[in-house]
Structure 1
Amino acid sequence: MTRTIIINTTGSLHRALRLGLYLFGLMGVATVGFFAWQSFYPVSAATGWSIQTVHSDVPKAASLMPLPDGSLMISQELNDAKGSIVRIHPDGRREVVVGSLSKPDGMFATHGGWVFSQETGNAPVSFLKDGVVTDLFRGENVQGLWVEGDDLYAIEDRKDNGRLLRYRWSDQSLTVLRDQLHEGESITRCTDGRMLYTEKKKGVIRELTSDGSDPVVLTGLNKPTFLMCDERGLWVNEDSTHRARLLLIDKHGQQQTILSFLKAPQSIVRTGDGTYLLAEGGRNRVLKLVRKSLAMASDDAQH
């Protein structure tokens, strides 16, 4: 007698499919939760520093420029002619100074006005004075600006063929100082005389030298963007969407993380009272960074 045994695999397949879908969904929820945690986790300040939001609802805050009357110029780095340069007055009132810009980024006070860039293809670097905008020269994705006397330096944020340019005010000449840069974003002069610039894609900061060697002075950084120097040392912002940092490298080369869990920070500037303002473009706001000893001294003076 022959016995036939029938194995029903349908139920097992259904159970395996349900388990797979459950695990897949669980992984999706965990992934979304992880990125949400990174986005909303509060900014953390190093010991001895405090942080607070001074201006919110500033779309894609990029460059900052404090003015003597206590107001603040901000570039809002929106694309497709939706960007603008806005002035926030001490009473909180906001005034659009220049509108219909595409990714306005770098700003620098000079010659009685301001130069500003637009980080988009073949856009002009322009000069704003007395309400009149004059185009100086054109570049591809120009971001960082720096002015010294007759020289205006501009750097292009391009993948593999970015340039470092020098414009002369006296004769309107434009010179390519460096090319084939990998996402150059910022250029600045430090208190020790060095001129430094970033290559974000390579994670490095270089020194601009007369012989063209341009040695790497810092490496291993996570998308370094804006640079600023003062008596404390070199400040470096990381243009990362998640868990970006504000770093301070002192005159002895010691690196300290001043702020953690930033989201796409852009410029940092020193104010007249010794505090710092930082544009956090990823969260559309401006932060105020204060050394706690300075804050305590201010409180004591008020009392």
Structure 2
Amino acid sequence: MGFFTWQSFYPVQASDDWRYHVLHRDVAKAASLAPMLDGSLMVSQELNKGLGSIVRIHPDGKREVVVGNLSKPDGLVPTQGGWAFSQEVGDAPVSLLKDGSVTALFKGENVQGLWDDGEYLYAIEDRKEGGRILRYGWSDQALTVLRDQLNEGESITRCTDGRLLYTEKKKGVVRELTEDGSDPVVLSNLNKPTFLMCDERGLWINEDSTHRARLLLIDKQGHQQTILSFLKAPQSIVRTAKGTYLLAEGGRNRILELVPASL
């Protein structure tokens, strides 16, 4: 019992080239993050049974519930002048929040990760078996099933080199979504890989583990570095306009800001 307590309270450790601090506390089950141009932050709070919400945290720290009464709101991406969001429960719809109104776009089953390129909205289902990758066309509202029979798919993202990557947490792998359907494994032997994000530094991967989870960075040469360790159920990571990174640590109900040593 003491060992698990130690794991829960052991402080997060950063690699030598990075430092971090707690930016926001008491953000219940913080999941996805979306920074705003005015310095505020949109956050999905992944509580179940209608207790979840999407909250806007203003630069002065004031919090505003933008959408309430949600069940496990998870994915959250800016698009079409608003935000698309998912609910990782049952057949809850992926919806669009725009101008204060919520519009259901399409239904999935336990949809978690979202990715949007302006033309299409991609969604991935977190199911033990039979999970799918869905693609929704903004121009014609057509919904296409790109993949099925996935095992705990959690995140999907496009990298700067054009590759579309997704995770299968149960298998501990990251795959590339290819036109021929072969979907080669890009990375394997990972510990519950969940959220993915790409930028010029490389591929960022969070591990959805309750104890001793890590934030990994795979650079463009394929070298793997542990940026943060001893995290508890981290979720999304996003980059800010000032060159720092925000990470939702859902297991500790908080948001961390990660700062490179060069800043």
Q: Provide the TM-score with structure 1 as the length reference.
A: 0.86
Structure 2 unmatched ranges of 5 or more: none
Q: For 1:34, give the aligned amino acid.
A: F
**Residue 170 of structure 1, CA deviation:** 1.3
Runs of 4+ in 1 over 2 A off after TM superposition: none
| Greater relative contact order structure (CA < 8 Å, 6+ sep) | 2
- 1:124-203 to 2 correspondences below 5 Å: 124-203=93-172
Query: Structure 2: how far apart are the matches of 1:112 and 1:167?
Result: 17
**Residue 150 of structure 1, CA deviation:** 1.9
Q: Give the number of the structure whose residues are more often helix, by fraction.
A: 1
**Residue 272 of structure 1, CA deviation:** 0.3
**Matched residue SS, 1:128:** strand
**Matched residue SS, 2:153:** coil
**Residue 261 of structure 1, CA deviation:** 0.2
**Residue 169 of structure 1, CA deviation:** 1.2
**Residue 149 of structure 1, CA deviation:** 2.3
**Matched residue SS, 2:4:** helix
2:12 corresponds to: 43
Deviations 1:157-190 (A, max 9, x none): 0001100000111111111100000000000000
Deviations 1:237-295 (A, max 9, x none): 0000000000000000000000000000000000000000000000000000001121x
1:222 corresponds to: 191
41, 45, 50: which one pairs with 1:81?
50
- Root mean square deviation of aligned Cα: 0.5
2:80 corresponds to: 111
**Matched residue SS, 1:126:** strand
Q: Which has the larger radius of gyration?
A: 1
Q: For 2:119, give the aligned amino acid.
A: D
1:239 corresponds to: 208
**2:35 counterpart of 1:66:** yes
Q: Give the number of the structure whose residues are more often strand, by fraction.
A: 2
**Residue 72 of structure 1, CA deviation:** 0.4
**Matched residue SS, 1:171:** coil
Query: Structure 2: how far apart are the matches of 1:108 and 1:201?
Result: 24
**Matched residue SS, 1:37:** helix
Q: Percent identity?
A: 78
63, 75, 81: which one pairs with 1:94?
63
Q: Provide the TM-score with structure 2 as the length reference.
A: 0.99
Q: For 1:110, give the aligned amino acid.
A: T
Q: For 2:156, give the aligned amino acid.
A: I
